[in-house]
Amino acid sequence: MNQKLKEDVLFPRALAEQIQGVGIIAVLTVDNAAHAVPAAQALVRGGITAIELVMRTPVSENALKSITTEVPEAMVGVGTILSPVQVDIAKTLGGTYGVAPGFNPEVVKRAEKIGLPFAPGVATPTEIEAATTMGCRILKLFPAEPLGGLKYLKAMHAAYRHLDLQYIPLGGVSEANLADYLEVPEVLAIGGSWIAPGALLKEENWDEITRRSEAAVNIFRQVRG
């Protein structure tokens, strides 16, 4: 099912292939810095080594530093990067890659300049064309399900199939529709917050996060082998 990836100006092929091999990116929103490492470790125990830590809370930077330092086996992506300054922070604190909910040319330029692998967010054909003009081939589709899910993705991608684009859908993806997304060759990996939601972090229910990780990984293996 995995297809050969085309080179992306901002996203090295080797890293993209690693993420493709995992197939699932667990989205983490950390409100308590003490929860960052145990949550990441619980994900890794369940087989998910690709993480997106969103930069939306006061402790996000501390959480990122802790995970990159103490959980070296994790590929820690930095999410919700909205400014060039946040690109610098992600790189300085050891982020493996960055993603954004939307397309900001200044963010893309900064990521390219300092060498942070980066996937901008797209929701429309116009944004796809703007991103590909800057050399981006790996794109975050957000918010995937509210936009129309796989039906929307397939219809929009049809016009750009010759560009060999790859997508990371996020927003409304869950265990219930995970297999459907993974069956689409153009989907590099999916992003999901259901695996390690804030409620489980607050409860410090690391076993349930590991269980959800294992369940998602099993679906991935059934679909992509």
Q: What is d(CA 85, CA 47) in angstroms, rounded to the nearest whole number? A: 32
Instruction: Answer yes or no: are the C-beta atoms of 152 and 180 closer than 8 Å.
Output: no
pTM score: 0.95
Q: What is d(CA 16, CA 32) in angstroms, rounded to the nearest whole number? A: 30
pLDDT of the chain, 225 residues: tens digit per residue:
455 676 788 999 999 999 999 999 999 999 999 999 999 999 999 999 999 999 999 999 999 999 999 999 999 999 999 999 999 999 999 999 999 999 999 999 999 999 999 999 999 999 999 999 999 999 999 999 999 999 999 999 999 999 999 999 999 999 999 999 999 999 999 999 999 999 999 999 999 999 999 999 999 999 998
Q: State residue 4's pLDDT score.
A: 60
Q: What is the phi-psi region of residue 94: left when phi exceeds 0, alpha when psi lies from -120 to 50, beta otherwise? A: left
Name 118's bridge partners.
98
Name 169's bridge partners.
141
| Positions marked catalytic | 52, 140
